[in-house]
Amino acid sequence: MERISFTIDGRICASDKGLNLIEAAKQNGIFIPTLCHFKHQNPIGSCRICTVKLNGKAIAGCTLNVQEGMNIEVNTPILLDTRKAILEMMFVEGNHFCPSCEKSGDCQMQNLGYETGIRSARFPHLFVERFIDAKAKRIVINKNRCIKCKRCFEEVTTNDGYKVFSFINKGNKTIVSVDYEQEEKLTESQAQYAMKICPTGAILVKGKSLSKPFGDRIFDQGIPGKTIPFLKTNKNNNSTQKKLVATTSLAGCFGCHMSMLDIDLGLLDLIELVEFNKSPFTDIKKFTKRCDIGIIEGGCSNTHNFEVLRAFRENCDILVSVGECAIWGGLPALRNTISLEECLNEAYKNSLSSEQDETIIPNHEEIPKIFNKVYANHEIVKIDYHIPGCPPNSNHIWNVVKNILFEEEYAIPYPEFKYD
């Protein structure tokens, strides 16, 4: 094989002539993120995550074979941001509720989210209704999570050469589908292979949903042997006055608040630094003082959430959205693809515990009005920081809060990043 040299971001690299760029870069210690890329002989080029520049022109890296003298850009600020943006598009286009996803912790798309440091998507979530198809014999397709990478089309065929997966429709209606007749011909191991190669949780095998149990997944371990520490604050910052903190839970499950209490003895350190004002911790219902920071759990699901959130903005210098619900709606936003009327009927009239004509949809002028969908907090007030997680680790939350309050240096280590 002829060896050639080319440059990546100005660095001279060498590899076999004609090698796929993703592989060639890897051999030279440079990681180019990909999702659809699987076998480099036949690139798909659909996800566009690996967008690089060749002699100044943008191209999907997975479709490139290196040649002598190529000048390739991989990690320029624009390309890094583009990569992140494409991933964010995938998050907002599908409905990715990581905390309830079987693949969470073992999902390539999620991993890349961590890798690129996505805290919140810059784009509005689209909340398009997509259904879960469980009609096939072994495989369940959760169309909410498919990123249309086409890996399954290329990689999964029956022994007699028939396609099992394909797109139907076009444009924004494009969705992946499974052929029931062909699917039936797949062996158990072929079906599991399909689940494995899907970079998201879109393909699941019945009866084998959790690919790895919670707690055992790579990211559950954190840094091997270490838990996230609660960092001591430098006492030399001369503020003798305690910082004022307010917290609230809007459309959330109080999980983030439970997590905040989870710092054990750290609590003693914490209350030396901060004083809680309006918060479920103190049971103070109305702001009595202006606060330095407001910590918000949960998104906005009704008029009451809306008022509380605006009051927080009014009374706090800095607002932090904590947890997935606050950041983009999270689990309560599962209802965002369904009409409100259907949701209310299901909850109050057609549920198992409601007797025919005995129950009503609650309504009274004192009861808050429910919004047509759950809104992210930043759609209602300016939010200064986002801490992802469902819930985020308690030490992580307070480390970040202290960092904001005392302007201390705090780098977020990779394993602390979580969407579930």
Contact 291, 246 (CB under 8 A): yes
- Using DSSP's 3-state secondary structure scheme, residue 203 falls into strand
Nearer to ligand SF4, 145 or 278 (CB): 145
Instruction: Give CA separation, 214 vs 104, 163, 197, in Å.
Output: 9, 33, 20
Contact 419, 257 (CB under 8 A): no
Stretch that binds ligand SF4, among 142-150, 259-267, 292-300, 340-348 (CB under 6 A): 142-150
Nearer to another protein, 159 or 172 (CB): 172
Binding positions for another protein, rule: CB under 8 A: 43, 45-49, 51, 58-60, 63, 78, 81-82, 85-86, 89-90, 92-93, 122-124, 126, 147-148, 150, 161-174, 177-179, 181-182, 303, 306, 310, 313-314, 339-341, 344, 360-361, 363, 369-373, 375, 378-382
Of 147, 325, 327, 333, the one binding ligand SF4 by CB under 6 A: 147
* Residues near 393 by beta carbon (within 8 Å), at least 6 away in sequence: 228, 259, 416, 418
35 vs 115: CA distance, rounded Å: 13
Beta strands in 250-315 (DSSP E): 274-276, 291-297, 300-302
Stretch that binds ligand SF4, among 119-127, 147-155, 250-258, 318-326 (CB under 6 A): 147-155
Beta carbons within 10 angstroms of residue 398's beta carbon: 26
61 vs 80: CA distance, rounded Å: 13
Residues forming beta bridges with residue 134, ordered by sequence position: none
Nearer to ligand SF4, 50 or 263 (CB): 50
| Minimum gap (Å) between residue 277 Cβ and another protein | 18
Q: Which residue's structure tokens are 């209606």?
A: 173
Nearer to ligand SF4, 13 or 121 (CB): 121
- Using DSSP's 3-state secondary structure scheme, residue 9 falls into coil
Of 110, 182, 248, 279, the one binding ligand SF4 by CB under 6 A: 110
Using CB under 6 A as the criterion, what x/- string covers residues 196-215 for binding ligand SF4? --xxxxxx------------
Using CB under 6 A as the criterion, what x/- string covers residues 73-102 for binding ligand SF4? -----------------------xxx--x-
Nearer to ligand SF4, 220 or 384 (CB): 220
Using CB under 6 A as the criterion, what x/- string covers residues 156-195 for binding ligand SF4? ---------x----------x-------------------
Nearer to another protein, 124 or 413 (CB): 124
**What angle do the packed helices 108-116 and 77-93 form, to 10 degrees?**
140
The verdict on 150 binding ligand SF4 (CB under 6 A) reads: yes
| Minimum gap (Å) between residue 360 Cβ and another protein | 7
Residue type, 60: A
330 vs 99: CA distance, rounded Å: 9
Nearer to ligand SF4, 204 or 291 (CB): 204
Per-residue tokens: 206: 């019945």
Size of the site for ligand SF4 (CB under 6 A): 25
* Residues near 212 by beta carbon (within 8 Å), at least 6 away in sequence: 105, 106
100 vs 92: CA distance, rounded Å: 16
Q: Which residues bind ligand SF4 (CB under 6 A)?
A: 96-98, 101, 103-104, 107, 109-110, 145-152, 165, 176, 198-203
